[in-house]
């Protein structure tokens, strides 16, 4: 029987956040629980861990072999055990011991892959020496990428990677060598091939794996990754993992890879030359649209590197931005695995996607949240001076209101934390930060460079946006604001008190659930960022109300009241005012800040207070004056 409402449908559907996690943590030298929301105990899977700040191996531990059985992808050794280096698998977490996965003060990253049809599978088997042996799997689709390692003895890490031609490209995860051969019809929906001859086969046939993959009496583990198999989202048709190839062009304007989604994790290898390493990128450590890409190497124990901008995520894939041989030599073939950004599930609580921090302490990150932060806006309550706007996609830079200047580079504005942003433990008094997480139906961000004055921008909000804010990143440019109730021919300015006016900014075209139209004369010379908000039941509300000159309650559909409210008069001059419950939002104590002003925080009384369904507003500050229309964003 099918569920009768969207909430139940969401519970029944599969989402990337339930089967994959990139998790950042600092070792404590004892034991530590990694609460990543992935059910390994019940479903099974793989944890791949790497130390970031110093040299250490790439550790592979899976449920099929057990939490004490260790493999390292940068070596050829057999599986082994080591005191303290182990994992205890849980239903929504896993625990690490005191060994190499949890050395005190070292920064770590773990990538967790849960077994799930059309995403990932782990298979163990014993070799029998049979040529062209087919080994069964439960991936539920043809694999796009397979890694095989002999666990009972020394061997290379054998890789079969899908090429766009449909052939398989054969390489080694522990080495920099180029592909040794290719073969067709190597993958299918129920099995993968292993063979009998030594690695690599002199014939280049599909049974090339041989000694490394099917030696008589030897034991093996295989990790299988799906390719564009669907199986996710409310309809069960969304792809979450893609395996393919592209041809380099040797330019800093490299190939554009269309995945149909924005990736959060990308593994790339030059298949043509043997002098380049495997490159692993993810958006938690740093995969911004500009600035350094933070990379690790599965074939090396080396610490994390931060080099030029290898790739830039887009709403539909990624753009190669470097001519480095690791990812873009002319005419070279590159194979990749890409995993979709999450969350895919629409949030049901405001606390899972928004928080305010006014705490002053000496702990990194400077501003802390109970979720990975995608957008932070912070300002000085005591001295004012404007607000710093920074985001995960534009990590290492910030924009400022009420200014119109291009973004400024600053290495402190990074997002490589599990629980906040800004890489500093210097305590600052009187700061406030409002922090947002991207989630369907609530908030999305997209960076774009128009190819024409009128340009359709693809987004991943999943619903029609009701509030859009656009700012030039590398050009002096006003903060354009689209509000659904004002229509596609109107617009406000975030850095200004000006009223709504007729604008050509949106091409006179209302946005859709997948695109909005931007008109910027000469915009093809510059880069822009857009932030999109929508009304999400029980989480957020973008709306309007007509002032009555007295007091009125604004019903946002919440059950626990508003924690954040931003208001602007649409048809009159007024500041963009922000109230929040962390600083105080009651009729007896109402601190406020103007996003469109350099003024410090002010405090008044009898202005605003939460109600169970939203908030109550008076005309004490002129935000409920009779004859005026007000637009607002409220978050529960």
Q: Is residue 477 predicted with pLDDT exceeding 50?
A: yes
Check residue 485 and report its DSSP letter.
G
- Across the range 566-592, mean pLDDT stands at 97
Closest CA to 340 of 246, 226, 484: 226
Q: pLDDT tens across 182-204, in order?
A: 777 677 789 988 876 444 443 43
Q: Judge whether 117 and 138 are in contact, CB under 8 Å.
A: yes
Whether residues 124 and 222 fall in one domain:
yes
Q: Is residue 7 part of a domain?
A: no
Number of domains comprising the chain: 6
Return the pLDDT at 2: 34
Q: pLDDT tens across 239-276, in order?
A: 999 999 999 999 999 999 999 999 999 999 999 988 89
Return the pLDDT at 620: 96
Whether residues 100 and 183 fall in one domain:
no
Return the pLDDT at 451: 96
- Across the range 131-160, mean pLDDT stands at 93
* Least confident among 127-136, 397-406, 482-491, 518-527: 127-136
Q: Is residue 234 part of a domain?
A: no
Return the pLDDT at 360: 78
Q: Judge whether 179 and 271 are in contact, CB under 8 Å.
A: yes
Whether residues 374 and 416 fall in one domain:
yes
Element spanning 592, H or E? strand 590-594
Whether residues 286 and 366 fall in one domain:
no
Last residue of a domain, one of 309, 340, 371: 340
Q: pLDDT tens across 381-411, in order?
A: 999 999 999 999 999 999 999 999 999 999 9
Whether residues 421 and 510 fall in one domain:
no
Q: Is residue 205 predicted with pLDDT exceeding 70?
A: no
Q: Is residue 389 part of a domain?
A: yes
Q: Is residue 211 predicted with pLDDT exceeding 80?
A: no
User: What CA–CA distance (Å, rounded) separates 594 from 629?
Assistant: 18
Check residue 581 and report its DSSP letter.
T
Whether residues 319 and 252 fall in one domain:
yes
Q: Is residue 233 part of a domain?
A: no
Q: Is residue 600 part of a domain?
A: yes
Q: Is residue 1 predicted with pLDDT exceeding 70?
A: no
Return the pLDDT at 361: 79
Return the pLDDT at 478: 98
Q: Is residue 358 part of a domain?
A: yes
Return the pLDDT at 307: 81
| Residue numbers of the domain that contains 250 | 241-340
Whether residues 466 and 526 fall in one domain:
yes
Return the pLDDT at 209: 42
Higher pLDDT, 183 or 369: 369
Return the SS3 of 107. strand
* Least confident among 117-126, 131-140, 508-517: 131-140
pTM of the model: 0.96
Q: Is residue 345 part of a domain?
A: no
Give the percent of the chain with pLDDT over 90: 87
Check residue 624 and report its DSSP letter.
S
Return the pLDDT at 5: 57
User: What CA–CA distance (Å, rounded) separates 125 from 129?
Assistant: 12
- Across the range 275-301, mean pLDDT stands at 96
User: Chain-wide mean pLDDT for the chain?
Assistant: 94
Return the pLDDT at 12: 78
Band (pLDDT 50/70/90 cuts) for residue 359 is: confident
Last residue of a domain, one of 492, 512, 533: 533
User: What CA–CA distance (Å, rounded) separates 549 from 617?
Assistant: 10
Count the Cβ atoms, other than its own, within 10 Å of residue 452: 11
Whether residues 393 and 461 fall in one domain:
no
Q: Is residue 408 part of a domain?
A: yes
Return the pLDDT at 77: 96
User: What CA–CA distance (Å, rounded) separates 399 from 447?
Assistant: 14
- Across the range 32-49, mean pLDDT stands at 98
Return the pLDDT at 542: 98
- Residue given tokens 């993959």 in the structure block: 213
Whether residues 333 and 255 fall in one domain:
yes
Last residue of a domain, one of 509, 533, 557: 533
User: What CA–CA distance (Å, rounded) separates 152 from 142?
Assistant: 27
């Amino acid at each position: 029987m099918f569920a009768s409402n969207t909430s139940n449908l969401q519970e029944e559907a599969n989402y990337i956040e339930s089967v994959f996690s990139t998790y950042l943590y600092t070792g404590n030298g004892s034991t530590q629980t990694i609460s990543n929301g992935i059910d390994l105990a019940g479903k099974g899977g793989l944890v791949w861990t790497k130390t970031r700040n110093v040299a250490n191996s790439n550790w592979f531990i899976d449920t099929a072999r057990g939490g004490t059985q260790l493999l390292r992808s940068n070596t050829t050794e057999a599986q082994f055990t080591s005191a303290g280096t182990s994992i205890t698998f849980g239903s929504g977490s896993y625990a690490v011991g005191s060994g190499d996965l949890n050395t005190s003060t070292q920064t770590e990253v773990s990538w967790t892959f849960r077994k799930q049809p059309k995403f990932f599978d782990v298979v163990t088997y014993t070799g029998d020496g049979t040529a062209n042996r087919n080994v069964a799997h439960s991936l539920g689709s043809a694999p796009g990428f397979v890694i095989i390692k002999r666990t009972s003895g020394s061997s290379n890490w054998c890789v079969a990677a899908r090429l766009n031609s449909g052939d398989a490209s054969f390489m080694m995860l522990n080495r920099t060598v180029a592909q040794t051969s290719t073969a067709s019809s190597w993958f299918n929906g129920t099995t993968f091939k292993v063979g009998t001859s030594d690695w690599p086969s002199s014939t280049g046939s599909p049974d090339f794996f041989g000694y490394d993959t099917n030696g008589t009496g030897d034991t093996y583990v295989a990790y299988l990754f799906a390719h564009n198999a669907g199986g996710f989202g409310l309809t069960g048709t969304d792809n979450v993992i893609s395996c393919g190839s592209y041809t380099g062009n040797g330019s800093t304007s490299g190939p554009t890879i269309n995945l149909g989604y924005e990736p959060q994790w990308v593994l790339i290898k030059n298949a043509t030359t043997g002098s380049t390493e495997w490159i692993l990128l993810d958006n938690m450590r740093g995969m911004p649209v500009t600035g350094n890409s933070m990379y690790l190497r599965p074939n090396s124990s080396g610490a994390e590197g931060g080099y030029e901008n290898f790739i830039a995520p887009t709403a539909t894939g990624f753009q190669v931005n470097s001519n480095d041989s690791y990812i873009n030599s002319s005419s070279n073939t590159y194979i990749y695995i890409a995993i979709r950004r999450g969350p895919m599930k629409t949030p049901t609580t405001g606390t899972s996607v928004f928080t305010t921090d006014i705490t002053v302490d000496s702990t990194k990150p400077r501003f802390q949240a109970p979720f990975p932060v995608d957008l932070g806006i912070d300002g000085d309550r005591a001295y004012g001076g404007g607000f710093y706007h920074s985001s995960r996609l534009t990590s290492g830079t910030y924009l400022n209101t009420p200014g119109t200047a291009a973004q400024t580079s600053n290495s402190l504005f990074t997002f490589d934390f599990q629980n906040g942003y800004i890489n500093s433990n210097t305590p600052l008094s009187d700061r406030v930060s409002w922090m947002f997480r991207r989630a369907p139906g609530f908030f999305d961000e997209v960076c774009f460079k128009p190819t024409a004055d009128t340009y359709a921008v693809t987004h991943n909000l999943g619903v029609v946006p009701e509030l859009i804010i656009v700012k030039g990143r590398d050009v002096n440019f006003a903060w354009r604001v689209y509000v659904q109730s004002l229509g596609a021919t109107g617009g406000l300015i975030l850095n200004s008190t000006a009223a709504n006016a007729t604008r050509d900014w949106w091409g006179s075209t209302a946005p859709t659930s997948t695109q909005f139209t931007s008109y910027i004369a000469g915009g093809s010379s510059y880069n822009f960022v857009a932030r999109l908000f929508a009304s999400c039941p029980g989480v957020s509300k973008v709306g309007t109300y007509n002032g009555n000159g007295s007091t009125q309650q604004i019903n946002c559909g919440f059950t626990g009241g508003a924690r954040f409210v931003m208001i602007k008069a649409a048809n009159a001059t007024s500041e963009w005012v922000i109230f929040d419950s962390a600083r105080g939002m009651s009729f007896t104590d109402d601190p406020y800040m103007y996003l469109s002003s350099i003024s410090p925080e002010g405090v008044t009384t009898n202005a605003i207070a939460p109600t169970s369904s939203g908030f109550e507003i008076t005309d004490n500050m002129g935000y409920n004056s009779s004859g005026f229309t007000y637009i607002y964003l409220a978050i529960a």
